[in-house]
Amino acid sequence: MTVTPDPSASLPPGDAGGPRPAEPPGRSSPRPIRRRRRLVQRALVVGAGLVLLLAAPALWVRASSAGHLHPYDEAPEAPVVIVFGAQLAPGGTQPMPFLKGRLDVATQLVKDGKASVVLVSGDRAGASGDEIAAMTAYLVAAGVPAEHIVGDPYGLDSYDTCKRAHDVYGVRRALLVSQSLHLPRAVTLCRRLGIDASGVAARCDGCRRVTLAKNTARELPAAWKVAYDLVTARPPAVSSAPDPVLQQALDE
């Protein structure tokens, strides 16, 4: 009697048409693992894209100001130095550390002959007091001649300061003084609005870490405002006719 061999006898279990053996206990199927990996990878890509999108204006501000930011000892010369207003100390007559650092650097720029006139730009009716009066008084007490100080009481934000400096006071070339966290935004705004601006970093002696961290974080949404203001070419909050007072101060 001839015995015909069964072809399925040499096949691994489960390949002869019968049921596959169950996975060993505790071992996951590879398909769900690969699926989860793909989902995680896609989520990471989408997240990175969103981060880049949110940071795009801030990156653009940094790129636009590159090459125009200077430490004090490398500051170029310009006819005008613009000081951006900031909060005053309780009582409304003395600057807080942020503003004091800016005013101290502006004073030194004038004394060293790197600028002739100081344009102090801020809010005359600010929540903490009259920024223009306080800045002017501080500069005069520090030795800057009063006739070389011009005040813009309607520099209500950085955009308005630059826009009004150009349109109202005729500034075409200037040094901008502010802390390094704010300076790229200020320089970008002024340069895009027609001023050949160079930034000079101000000190912030006595500034608390929490204050610096808060103001640094603020620059991300502020960069979106820069883009919006420039794209829409919005007028400043207060528009004024051209004023020759700054040119007169330069002629003194």
Q: Which band of pLDDT confidence, cut at 50, 70 and 90, is reported for residue 27?
A: low
pLDDT at 41: 72
Residue in 122, 183, 192, 201 with CA at minimum distance from that of residue 157: 122
Q: What is the pLDDT of residues 45-99, one digit of tens each?
A: 666 666 555 668 889 999 999 999 999 999 999 999 999 999 999 999 999 999 9
Q: What is the pLDDT of residues 164-219, one digit of tens each?
A: 999 999 999 999 999 999 999 999 999 999 999 999 999 888 888 888 888 888 88
Instruction: Residues 67-251: name the CATH superfamily.
Output: HUPs (3.40.50.620)
- Model pTM above 0.85: no
Examine the pLDDT at 111 and tell me if it is beyond 90: yes
Examine the pLDDT at 9 and tell me if it is beyond 80: no
Q: Could you write out the DSSP letters of every residue in 38-89? A: HHHHHHHHHHHHHHHHHHHHHHHHHHHHTTSEE-GGG----SEEEEE--PBP
- 30-65 and 209-232 helices, crossing angle to 10°: 80
Q: Which band of pLDDT confidence, cut at 50, 70 and 90, is reported for residue 163?
A: very high
pLDDT at 46: 63
